[in-house]
Structure 1
Amino acid sequence: MTDTSLALYLHFPFCLQKCGYCSFVSYPARLDCLPDYVKCLRKEIKSRASGLYFHSLYFGGGTPSLLSPSQVADILAGIRTAAHLLPDAEITFEANPGTLALPYLPEIKSLGINRLSLGIQSFSGAELTMLGRLHNAAKARQAYKQARAAGFNNISLDLIYGLPDSSVSSFKKNLAEALALAPEHISLYGLTLEEDTPMYRQVQEGLLPEINAETAADQYQAAEDILAKAGYRHYEISNWAKPGYESRHNLTYWQNRPYLGLGAAGHSFLENWRLANTSSLDEYLNRWQNDLPPTPSENIYLDLENQLAETIILGLRLDKGITAEDIENRFGQHVMDKYFPVIQECTGLGLLEKSDGGISLTPRGRLLSNEVFWRFLP
């Protein structure tokens, strides 16, 4: 990573079927558009990434593993022709265990993909069915073992906690299954349901029970203890890693550093501007097929006060929190002076703690992080 390098995110809004909890921009049953999408993405890469240096690259979705190896190669060739991937760049590829089969994994590994993120979510058959996942637990374990056999030595697993009808013991069983595989990285996400998702409607109609916040909190706290004993560092609110395997790409977001997001619904943060591509697949394709970049759906300049607030809020997600020295170097302001009443209040509530010239969330603060974050907003 250098002072001038960025993180690059590529969004692939395609999936075989929409999961019941998913509110991300993705289009089931539109795979016929994938070849045209790759062509348009290459045009956007040439237009917006030319000459830039990237320390990380992230294939996200949707389901990037629906791309053929030749399409992955085409995209990487476009990036390497137009821009500069640093020699030690972290290149992450999200994959759905339900779409993986040999020889896919060794083929994408040979192209330079060096980090794999497997969306397992659960090892319970009943929970996977409820979530609308395409794979079962056996397929998840098989995909992981095939990834190891393909030579991947940096694998992250995603799990969801706070599921309807789940308990602390059932979640511990899921976590034990994940730990038995010994991944380098584990992400745990609490289930949240947006109004436009099928699971939200099922809860509203009484077909599924409400999410139990107390059970979710107990599951999270259990994970903190179990993963710490297993040698994983809780380096960010939702993420644990073995030493040296923290996500370099996601750290760029949490440190509020510049990144470029390409593809439909891609988001960027460049020179203090927040930009977002159109989330419409048809608009994205139609515009780029006519060599006309789509009009950004979001184009917001962050003034100094908002930059400072976002940097503090994002930085507090990290276990190290923020330091007064870093904030002063970046913004010319001393965080302890500017936010003294807020810091004192949150410290008194047991949500923040002061240490080494900075502040960080307490274990209680991680559970109630939103109670801290809103207090720093302008």
Structure 2
Amino acid sequence: MTNPNTSIYIHIPFCKHRCAYCDFNTYAGQEDSIPAYVQALINEIEFVGQRAEQMNIHTVFFGGGTPSLLSAPQFDSILQALRSAFTFTPDAEVSIEANPGTISPEKLKTIREAGINRISFGVQSANTEELRMLERIHDFFTVIEAVSTARKAGFDNLNLDLIYGLPEQTPASWQTTLQRTIDLHPEHISAYALTLEHGTPFGRWSSKGLLPLPDPDLAAEMYEYAEEFLESKGYVHYEISNWAKATAENRTQNAESNSSFLIPHSSFVCRHNLQYWHSLPYLAFGAGAHGYANGYRYSNALRIKTYIERLIHPSSFIIHPFPLSPATVNQHKQSLKDDMSEYMLNNLRLTNAGVAESDFRLRFGRGLLDVYPKEIEELVNNGLLEIKTTEVLKTSVVYRLTKRGRLLGNQVFLRFV
């Protein structure tokens, strides 16, 4: 399957404070390296861009870490390098993750003018004690102020990130967080269950009995409540952990088609993340960034210092095929089996769209039931997958997770690994 549009992920690994639950490639106390890091990013962008064939970039995502620690001129210089190296579509979605405690009116105004048009604020909770336990540097009053400031700066596409299933979190506390989040009228909401990752302070504390283990049954109840509550407030549950506000156009189209399987790009879905979930190509820049393009899955050096050194003083005798760069430390040339497996894992996360038989055949030249007959049959019989047809997809059968399947998603995904 060919697609003219490509996405770009840029990793900013700097944080003021590394939260106790965080397992991302982030570092606190290294802000002095930001100028050199930005120059290394620009070098990597130029290096990869020189080897790229003509491609249209329709989404860019600055993730972290805390990208909002960068100054507006630094964002501007990175975006200028991207626009010099690649062609942007006129309606490109350019997102930034931001900690509510690290933004100012002037910074938001200038990054909006630079071309960033979507913000994802890491809210996590509206409860003061829960934020303190998570070691966040903001409170919910800061969130309210950040949202208000972003609106005044011209941002009309905001995402608020939440976490549920926290140790000792109550259903009432979670419901309050959802209500207070809705009161801010975000266009998009992401809600993730807390996972206790090995090597994090949360992971160590829980293994020693110093932190209560989250209750998985209670977390499931919280997830189900979020599904019902957010739907009642006009949000479309389009991916396991993501909800987008339905526009008037969406509601009209879905009513006419009697279907909510497909959500057009005119709505507030995160188009960048859809690139991942549709198993489409994306370039990656920055320390520890992972990419998928030209048949390669690849990742960069993790450490900030190592990343900078590789881009400031690259090894000239090494040949790097597109999209690899001097920062690349891991690469894997995908097989057809790899691509089919990852397609299933990613696309099944889309709760409405699911996996369409016609799309699978178009992309891989084989029928879905030719490749995964036993897996599909077992999952349907166990009530984890359902078979649907729609007016939108008249010629194709669609397989998607049932409500029970969404709660037991990992059990489903394991069938295709």
Fold match (TM-score > 0.5): yes
Tell me if structure 1 keeps the 8 A contact 2:311–2:327.
no
CA distance in 2, matches of 1:280, 1:63: 16
The Cα RMSD (Å) is: 1.2
Q: Secondary structure at the match of 1:297?
A: strand
- Matched with 2:102 is 99
Mapped to 1, the partners of 2:308 and 2:55 lie a distance apart of 24
Aligned to 1:17: 17
Aligned to 1:45: 45
Q: 1:280 aligns with which of 282, 303, 306?
A: 303
Counterparts in 2 of 1:18-33, with a 5 A limit?
Answer: 18-33=18-33
Contact 2:190 2:243 in 1 (8 A): yes
Show CA shifts across 1:305-364 (max 9, x none): 121111111100002101110000000111123322211111111100001112000011
Residues 222 and 171 from structure 1, CA distance in 2 versus in 1: closer, same or farther, beyond 3 angstroms?
A: same
What is the aligned partner in structure 1 of residue 6 from structure 2? Answer: 6
Q: Tell me what 1:252 maps to.
A: 275
Q: Which runs of 5+ in 1 are unaligned?
A: none
**Which region of structure 1 is more displaced relative to structure 2, 336-345 or 279-288?**
336-345
Matching residue within 315, 326, 329 for 1:297? 329
Which residue, 59, 63, 70 being the options, matches 1:67? 70
1:347 matched to 2:380: yes
* Counterpart contact for 2:307–2:327, Cα < 8 Å: no
The share of aligned pairs that are identical, in percent, is 42
- The CA distance in 1 between the partners of 2:23 and 2:341, in whole Å, is 26
The worse-fitting range, judged by mean Cα deviation, of 35-44 and 342-351 is 342-351
Cα distance in 1, alignment partners of residues 116 and 179 from structure 2: 27
**How many residues of Structure 1 are paired with residues of Structure 2 in the alignment?**
376
Decide which of 54, 57, 60 is 2:60's aligned counterpart. 57
- 1:80 maps to 83
| CA distance in structure 2 between the aligned counterparts of 1:151 and 1:163, rounded to whole angstroms | 34
Q: Distance in 1 between matches of 2:338 and 2:6?
A: 21
| Equivalent of 2:350 in 308, 311, 318 | 318
The gaps in structure 2 that reach 5 residues or longer are 247-266, 316-324, 390-396
Cα offset, 1:289, TM superposition: 1.4
Query: What is the match of residue 177 of structure 2?
Result: 174
1:184 equivalent to 2:191? Answer no
SS at match of 1:268: strand
The whole-number CA distance in structure 2 between the counterparts of 1:15 and 1:49 is 28
In the alignment, is the contact (CA less than 8 A) between 1:162 and 1:213 conserved in 2? yes
The amino acid across from 1:54 in the alignment is: I
Q: 2:45·2:85 contact (CA, 8 Å) conserved in 1? A: yes
Q: Which residue in 2 is equivalent to 1:157? A: 160
Instruction: Indicate the SS of the match to 1:181.
Output: coil
Q: Does 1:215 align with 2:248?
A: no
2:18 match: secondary structure: coil
Question: 1:122 and 2:125 equivalent?
Answer: yes
Residue pair 1:283, 1:294 contacting (<8 A) in 2 also: no
1: CA distance, partners of 2:12 / 2:116: 16
Q: 2:405 maps to which residue?
A: 365
What's the CA shift for 1:224?
Answer: 0.3
8 Å Cα contact 2:14/2:69 also seen in 1: yes
The TM-score normalised by the length of structure 2 is: 0.88
Contact kept in structure 2, 1:278 and 1:294, CA below 8 Å: no
Q: For 1:8, what is the secondary structure of its paired residue?
A: strand
Give the whole-Å Cα distance in 2 for the aligned partners of 1:277 and 1:59.
16
**Aligned mates of 2:124, 2:354 — CA distance in 1:** 27
Equivalent position of 2:290 in the other structure = 267
- Under a length normalisation based on structure 1, what TM-score does the superposition of the two structures give? 0.97
**Counterparts of 1:123 and 1:101 in 2: how far apart (Å)?**
21
- Out of 358, 361, 372, the position equivalent to 1:328 is 361
Deviation at 1:295, TM superposition (A): 5.2
Q: 3-state DSSP class of the match of 2:105?
A: coil
- Aligned AA (2:35): P
